[in-house]
Chains A and B, each alone.
Chain A
Amino acid sequence: MNRPVAQALVVVRKELKDAFRDRRAIYSVLLGSLVGPILVGVMISAMADRQREIEDVAIPIVGRVHAPALIAWLEQQTGVTVLDGPADAEAAVRGRREAVVVVIPEDYAERFRASRPVEIRVVSDGSRAASRPKVQRVLGLLQRYGSEVGAMRLIGRGVSPAVVRPLDLVEVEVSSAQQRAAVILNFIPLFIVLAAFTGGMHIATDATAGERERGSLEPLLVNPAPRLVIASGKWMAAALSAMLSVGITTLLCLAVLRVIPLQDLGIRFRLGPAEVAGLVAGALPLCLLATAIQTCLATFARSFKEAQSYMGFLILVPMLPGVLSAVYPIASQPWMYPVPILGQHLLLSDVLGGKTPGVVMFIAAAATTLAAALVLVGLVTALLRRERIIFGR
């Protein structure tokens, strides 16, 4: 093996050994890797629960004795149970004891027989977003009962129900089930990208700003190793740690997706070896760039503290495309793929969304990302030649 490569590997090995004896470093890798999968699991489980809640609806009805036919029809619908309503419907909803209460008036039977509209009150609190799906479901059920009864009455009078239905609304859902899943699963790329940034952060700062603060940089640089070798060794050690973190995050997210009941959300979700390979191929180049940025900033920083505060700001950068696309999905354009960080985010979203971005896109994203990383490592090398950097300012 040639000498500089061997020396760089010596640095890599030392930095990894040193870091993984540090409990804080291990915690920072684990924390960065675990938060994502846990949050994804909790979020998707919560969504699945809410979905189930809408389908399995228990409706408190005040005055159910006045409309036995309506109650019987409701109870025949799948997932619907009817409960006795509270004494004061509005107080119960305002007090958040109930999400929705249906109130049937005493004159129901009388007006019904006379074919006069019956006022049925559906009491809800519009400021509570969480109860909205349930309210919608209740309103939908009552409207369906109303139009069914209406249709029967028209038929009874010899009129086709189609006459009073000039518009026939049909909702057409164009996204495939997997694409709909991608919207929800958009958080996974975000967490994988975050892991790339948190996983190597500790080594990147400890091996540069920390090394100088301990006073071990000067004796280290007296060894006959080119600065590029020292810089690359430190960078690679941080990158490997980031890759480990990305690996853990990816595997745990996949494990979470296997365990939680995705079918309850109407999501068909397939993750074969090809998808896993796609995730890894998309994320690994980012580890190289993320740690190159961190190594560069931490070498430049005047102190370990300053380096750490840079790292805090840096975390925000990878969150940008993730947060934006979680809020409103960006229509991905081909030119976005070679943009470092954004490109990786799109690749990961595509893979999870069941789209296969071409191999060209993977190569383009990896190439520009690697190029940016190498430029930054070159910058670290140049910084390590500066007397001000070596001896502190």
Chain B
Amino acid sequence: MIRVEHLRKQFGGIAAVDDVSFEAPDGSVTGLLGPNGAGKTTTLRLLYGLMRPDAGRIEVDEVDAVADPQRAQARLGVLPDVSGLYPRLTAREHIYYYGELQGLSGPVLARRTDDLLRLLDMAGIADRRTVGFSHGERTKVALARALVHDPRNVLLDEPTNGLDVMSTRAVRDIIRRLKADGRSVVFSSHVMQEVSALCDTIIVLARGRVVAAGTPDTLREQTGRPNLEDAFVALVGLPADGDG
């Protein structure tokens, strides 16, 4: 369960995130939808504690994430925008490294790692060094290490960006499964079908502000457009592609 209230973050006088509030309850998928530069990545970085907000509150399972980012981080599984791997370590070693940093060890960590390798269908690549992995394989490794400590809340920054069809399907399956396990999943995307197919709640961001929030159906009703993409265009007030 993640609760965000009046979040604000400025870079050199320009508000990248401006009075953003939303709630991501357990057992549901919340989508941050918006064009490039809308503040999706900044919002997520504030949530996982690598950026400090200028104002506002963030609660992760009732932990004040601004005051105690580390306790919040222990409850978060995060796939950041850039998720680089160590080319000389194997997939399994990546999962172990993060598991150990989260305080896991021994048979618990071994079992958890095996579960993740199975869940993400990584048996064939588990003990290979990650150099030369495909984009899909790299995303799986990054996802597995982010989930090693079995976090109740999962933040994914454009998890399907640049993936092929098969990998995209795999990631969507994972998101559904995380939801079914009763976790709170927040992910960002600019892909309409993905958001409409997966999300219980959509937060539409534009220029750092929440311009609309609700289920896909409410958004369609709000804008009076039967097509979600049209609804999105109407909400964001395009032309959005020039809005870096």
Interface set of A (CB-CB < 8 Å, partner B)? 3, 6-7, 10-11, 14, 17-18, 21-22, 211, 214-226, 387, 390-391
Residue from the set A6, A217, A220, A222 with the largest chain B CB neighbour count within 10 Å: A222
A225 close to B84 (CB less than 8 A): no
A214 close to B86 (CB less than 8 A): yes
A214: chain B residues at CB < 8 Å are: 84-87
- Given A3-B103, A224-B102: A219 and B78 interface contact (C-beta under 8 Å): yes
In-complex Cβ contact of B97 among A10, A211, A387 (8 A): A10
Min Cβ gap B47→A in Å is 10
Residue from the set B45, B76, B78, B80 with the largest chain A CB neighbour count within 10 Å: B80
B49 close to A222 (CB less than 8 A): yes
- Given A10-B97, A17-B89, A18-B89: A222 and B84 interface contact (C-beta under 8 Å): no
B198: chain A residues at CB < 8 Å are: none
In-complex Cβ contact of A14 among B48, B79, B82, B97 (8 A): B97
Contact with A along B60-94 (1 / 0, CB 8 A): 00000000001101101011111111111100010
A7: chain B residues at CB < 8 Å are: 100-101, 103
Residue from the set A10, A11, A21, A211 with the largest chain B CB neighbour count within 10 Å: A10
Q: Provide the bound-state CA to CA distance between A214 and B76, in Å.
A: 22
Min Cβ gap B160→A in Å is 17
In-complex Cβ contact of B80 among A10, A211, A219, A225 (8 A): A219
Min Cβ gap A231→B in Å is 14
Q: Provide the bound-state CA to CA distance between A211 and B86, in Å.
A: 8
B129: chain A residues at CB < 8 Å are: 21
Q: Provide the bound-state CA to CA distance between A22 and B129, in Å.
A: 12
In-complex Cβ contact of B51 among A11, A217, A223, A387 (8 A): A387
Min Cβ gap A227→B in Å is 10
A222 close to B83 (CB less than 8 A): no
B48: chain A residues at CB < 8 Å are: 222
Nearest neighbor of B88 in chain A, beta-carbon distance:
A21
Residue from the set A3, A22, A217, A219 with the largest chain B CB neighbour count within 10 Å: A219
Q: A11-B101, A223-B101 are in contact. List 15 more A-B contacts (CB 8 A).
A: A6-B103, A14-B93, A18-B88, A215-B82, A215-B83, A216-B83, A218-B81, A219-B98, A221-B50, A222-B48, A222-B78, A222-B146, A223-B73, A224-B102, A387-B52
Nearest neighbor of A21 in chain B, beta-carbon distance:
B88
Q: Provide the bound-state CA to CA distance between A214 and B103, in Å.
A: 25
B97 close to A218 (CB less than 8 A): no
Min Cβ gap B131→A in Å is 10
Q: Is the C-beta of B142 less than 8 angstroms from some C-beta in chain A?
A: yes
Min Cβ gap B57→A in Å is 19
A223 close to B98 (CB less than 8 A): yes
Q: Provide the bound-state CA to CA distance between A14 and B94, in Å.
A: 9
Q: Provide the bound-state CA to CA distance between A217 and B97, in Å.
A: 13
A219 close to B84 (CB less than 8 A): yes
Residue from the set A6, A14, A224 with the largest chain B CB neighbour count within 10 Å: A224
Q: Is the C-beta of B183 less than 8 angstroms from some C-beta in chain A?
A: no
A-B contact count (CB 8 A): 78
Residue from the set B80, B97, B101 with the largest chain A CB neighbour count within 10 Å: B101
Q: Is the C-beta of B152 less than 8 angstroms from some C-beta in chain A?
A: no
Min Cβ gap A299→B in Å is 15
- Given A215-B84, A219-B83: A390 and B50 interface contact (C-beta under 8 Å): yes
A391: chain B residues at CB < 8 Å are: 45, 50
Q: Provide the bound-state CA to CA distance between A214 and B45, in Å.
A: 18
Pairs across A and B, CB under 8 Å, 6 listed = A21-B129, A222-B50, A222-B73, A222-B80, A224-B73, A224-B101
B80: chain A residues at CB < 8 Å are: 218-219, 222
Q: Provide the bound-state CA to CA distance between A218 and B81, in Å.
A: 9
Min Cβ gap A96→B in Å is 54
Q: Is the C-beta of B112 less than 8 angstroms from some C-beta in chain A?
A: no
Q: Provide the bound-state CA to CA distance between A224 and B52, in Å.
A: 16
B82 close to A218 (CB less than 8 A): yes
Q: Is the C-beta of B207 less than 8 angstroms from some C-beta in chain A?
A: no
A10: chain B residues at CB < 8 Å are: 97, 100-101
B101 close to A216 (CB less than 8 A): no
A225 close to B86 (CB less than 8 A): no
CB-CB nearest 7 A-B residue pairs: A215-B84, A215-B82, A216-B84, A214-B84, A224-B73, A223-B101, A21-B88
Q: Is the C-beta of B145 less than 8 angstroms from some C-beta in chain A?
A: yes
A22 close to B146 (CB less than 8 A): no
In-complex Cβ contact of B74 among A21, A211, A224, A226 (8 A): A224
Min Cβ gap A340→B in Å is 32
Nearest neighbor of B80 in chain A, beta-carbon distance:
A218
Nearest neighbor of B103 in chain A, beta-carbon distance:
A3
Nearest neighbor of A230 in chain B, beta-carbon distance:
B101
A219: chain B residues at CB < 8 Å are: 78-80, 83-84, 98, 142, 145-146
Min Cβ gap A2→B in Å is 11
Min Cβ gap A226→B in Å is 7
A216 close to B49 (CB less than 8 A): no
Residue from the set A14, A17, A387 with the largest chain B CB neighbour count within 10 Å: A14
B87: chain A residues at CB < 8 Å are: 214
Residue from the set B84, B87, B129 with the largest chain A CB neighbour count within 10 Å: B84
Q: Provide the bound-state CA to CA distance between A22 and B87, in Å.
A: 10
- Given A14-B97, A22-B88, A223-B98: A218 and B50 interface contact (C-beta under 8 Å): yes
Nearest neighbor of A212 in chain B, beta-carbon distance:
B84
Min Cβ gap B58→A in Å is 14
- Given A215-B82, A218-B80, A224-B71: A387 and B50 interface contact (C-beta under 8 Å): yes
